[in-house]
Amino acid sequence: IWWLPLALVFLSILACAGAERASAPEPATLETLGPGFHYQKAILPSGKLLNYAISVPEGYDPANPVPLVIALHYGGEVTPYYGGEMLDFLFEPALRDLGAIVAAPDALGGGDWTTGQNEDAVLWLTQAIMNSYTVDPKRVLLTGYSMGGQGTWHIAGRNQDLFTAAMPVSGEAARGEAEWKIPVRVVHSLDDELLPFRQAEDLYIELKRQGANAELKVVSGVTHFETHRFVAPIRESVQWLQSVWAGQ
């Protein structure tokens, strides 16, 4: 019968799709912590250990939804709670006025944030926090510095149904093939000696040309490795975030 091979192929595709959906991990329920800075561990569905730091804002009340920020660390030797170090001196103080839960995972396997296992880990942690705390799903930011900025372009662009804003800071200018639909704020220094400002500016111009809701925060007098000096430029993003989220 001429249609039998086609039917078998179609059934095999359905079987594969069903298997893929069945293997997708359910969001975990994490221990709910009080206000403050905490270092935590979690076992991923893959069985691997994920270290992450999480900051719960003062006055957090489960009755009132708060924003969520996932912050991706820069490159280097990833010792335990490497992301927590960056969170402590950069993203938590910079975004404190947002009143958000802010979490920073450690990259797995010595790889960058564009690997499949690290993208999966970021998505799992984001969904697990949203499943455990009272998070407003319309206010979920992905951000990161340097290697974390590259990861922000990659992961947020591929998961715009989960993240509602992105803020790559001093990251490699790359957005993949995704059509950018969520608001994005690019923070980059004119004096970045590692990742030229022109690349970030060109991508910003291209995004604007395509109609994306994009902004460019130009920093001057700060080199790539003066990470601590980006607290003030990132803090200026709080008002931008509140504005774009209010308009959604």
216-227 confidence digits (pLDDT tens): 999 999 999 999
Whether residue 51 is predicted with pLDDT greater than 90 in this model: the reply is yes
Helices 147-158 and 116-132 pack at an angle, to 10 degrees, of 70
Count Cβ atoms below 10 Å from residue 18 Cβ, excluding itself: 10
The pLDDT value given to residue 173? 78
Closest CA to 153 of 78, 203, 87: 203
The pLDDT value given to residue 1? 41
204: Cα separation from own chain's centroid: 18
The pLDDT value given to residue 175? 61
181-196 confidence digits (pLDDT tens): 999 999 999 999 999 9
Whether residue 73 is predicted with pLDDT greater than 50 in this model: the reply is yes
Q: Which residue has the higher pLDDT, 4 or 190?
A: 190
7-42 confidence digits (pLDDT tens): 333 333 233 333 332 334 566 889 999 999 999 999
Please report how many Cα atoms fall inside a 13 Å half-sphere around the Cα of residue 190, on the Cβ side: 5
Whether residue 2 is predicted with pLDDT greater than 90 in this model: the reply is no
The pLDDT value given to residue 3? 36
In this structure, what DSSP letter does residue 211 have?
T
The pLDDT value given to residue 9? 31
143: Cβ contacts below 8 Å, ≥ 6 apart:
69, 70, 71, 72, 91, 149, 152, 166, 167, 168, 169, 234
Q: Label residue 224 exposed, middle or buried (CB < 10 Å: 0-12, 13-18, 19+).
A: middle
Report phi then psi at 163, rounded to 5: -90, 140
Tokens of 17: 């799709």
**pTM for this one?**
0.89
The pLDDT value given to residue 6? 30
160: Cβ contacts below 8 Å, ≥ 6 apart:
178, 180, 181, 182
97-132 confidence digits (pLDDT tens): 999 999 999 999 988 999 999 999 999 999 999 999
Look over the chain and give the mean of its residue pLDDT values, rounded to a whole number.
89
148-187 confidence digits (pLDDT tens): 999 999 999 999 999 999 999 999 977 666 689 999 999 9
The pLDDT value given to residue 10? 30
The pLDDT value given to residue 248? 76
Residue bearing tokens 């396997």: 109
Tokens of 220: 């001057």
140: Cβ contacts below 8 Å, ≥ 6 apart:
67, 68, 69, 70, 126, 130, 162, 163, 164, 165
248 vs 246: CA distance, rounded Å: 6
The pLDDT value given to residue 7? 34
Tokens of 137: 């799903």
Strand duo 66-72 + 36-43: pairing: unpaired
Q: Identify the three-state secondary structure at position 139.
A: strand
Q: Identify the three-state secondary structure at position 13.
A: helix
